[in-house]
Structure formats: structure tokens, C-alpha cells
Amino acid sequence: MSAEPIEIRPVAGAIGAEISGVDLARELAAETIAAIRCALLDHLVVFFRAQELTPARFLAFARRFGEPIEYPFVRGLDGFPMITPVVKLEHETVNFGGVWHADTTYLAEPPMATMLFAREVPPYGGDTLFANMYLAYETLSPGLRRMLDGLVGVSDSAKADGSKTREDRVRDHPAADAAKRLVAEHPAVRTHPETGRRALYVNGAHTAHFRDMTIAESAPLLAYLFRHQQQPEFTCRFRWEKGSLAFWDNRAAQHNAVNDYHGHRRVMQRITLKGDTPR
């Protein structure tokens, strides 16, 4: 099996690259998988266009990079429990994931990466923003970095900023343990296990407070960090088309699904890959 002659083109200065010349429905050579993984580590999120993936082929592609895991609150597709539907219907006004976040940091081992595939897209809007958490950490003052290095964030699945965005899907397609509240503690700054770089690891959807501090005491610093993370200089914006796939590193990137397409349908499918304990 020969390697695909892929092309990797950055889409912004801080984060993101588009990969062309590869058909993800095929059984890809090990060299091609290695090149995609390298691009992911370099750019934190990579994008593919014009792909035709059945659920089985989507899952097979994901397994080349890690172990797919089930989302704890929404039931997966029939026959493919590791693939989570990410849907906003025409009559709905709240979208799934419409807040800056890293995926499911309320798990003891949050996913290392996420893949999102577009089945149906609105005629306009519905873009996704991505942000580089290496840069978010590295551009803080030395004093604030030293302080954050000693802090632990508490992520809570019941935090309103995140839980509101999944209410419609939990109501319609609940997982068996969807009512469960999940809480996990992670360092406010984590070291990436593959690159060794330090990344800011608090997020507006799930981080409720710092360990040994109250919510009120934590709020001013968290509010500052959440604003800091969202600076345009740290971000890129991806415009979806049917058949597009985004693959991001959940350990050093955050994302936000823009909710600007009321009255239209958006149907995506998501796979998350098992991660490790943040350190």
C-alpha cells in the first residue's frame, strides 16, 4: 500500500491546516496516517473536504489514531454507539457545543482528540471556531504563569454554560447514564504528552472553580482567562460543507460552534478518542 501524496496548507497563523489529496474512505498507508498525525500535532486541528464516509468507514478511520469512546450524555447512532449525533433542528434555538470549550474535561481522562463529520449543513452560518491553548498560556505574564502552574481546575458536567448546549439532545436521545453528574480535577496548565508543550487547560463550558477555592473566589481569574483564550490572534474559523471533516487535538485546542443559522438544520457526527490523565 503506497502513501497518499497529501498536501498540508495552514489556514491561519495560530492554528489549523487543511489537508488535501487523501480519500479517508480508503484504507490509508501507515505513512499517510503518520503524516496526518504529525500535522495534527503541529496545527492542533486539521480539516478535510469532500469526503464520503459511511459510519463504518468513519469509525475505521478514527481507530487509526486511537480508541473511540462513548459520549456520556447522548446515545450514539444505532449500531455505532461510539458515533454521537450533533444536531440542531430547524425549530431549535440552542446548538450543541455553542460555547468555548475542550471536550468533556469533566472526565478523569478527557479525550485526546475529536473528529466531527458534516452530514447536513445550513445554507449559511454554522461555522466552528478553534483556539490555540499553547499560545493562550505562552502569552500570559511570567507571574500569572507561575501562579497558574500551582492551580487545579474543577470541571463539572452540570455547569450551566456547557449543560445548556446539550439539553435538546439529552432529552431526545439520552444515554443510559445521562442524568449522572460528572466532576473531575485537572491542572490549570497541562503538559502535552506528545509535544511536551504547556497549554492552558481551563474552559468556559466546564471549569467551575479552582480546587480549594470557592466559585466566587475563582470567578474573576477564570473570567479573565476565558476572555484571554478567545483572542482572534489565537484562532481560526472553519466554514463547513457537506462531507467536511475536522480533527482536533483536545489537549491543546478549544472550539466553539457558532449558533447563527436559526431556522435551518445542521447534522454532524462526532467521534472522540480516549485520552490520558492530564498532568
Question: Which of 102, 108, 51 shows the shortest CA–CA distance to 269?
Answer: 51
- Is 192 labeled as catalytic in the residue annotation? no
- Is 264 labeled as catalytic in the residue annotation? no
Task: Indicate which residue of 186, 192, 251, 255 is catalytic.
Answer: 255
- Is 101 labeled as catalytic in the residue annotation? yes
- Is 270 labeled as catalytic in the residue annotation? yes
Task: Indicate which residue of 103, 156, 168, 249 is catalytic.
Answer: 103
Task: Indicate which residue of 101, 169, 186, 209 is catalytic.
Answer: 101
Report the catalytic residues. 101, 103, 255, 270
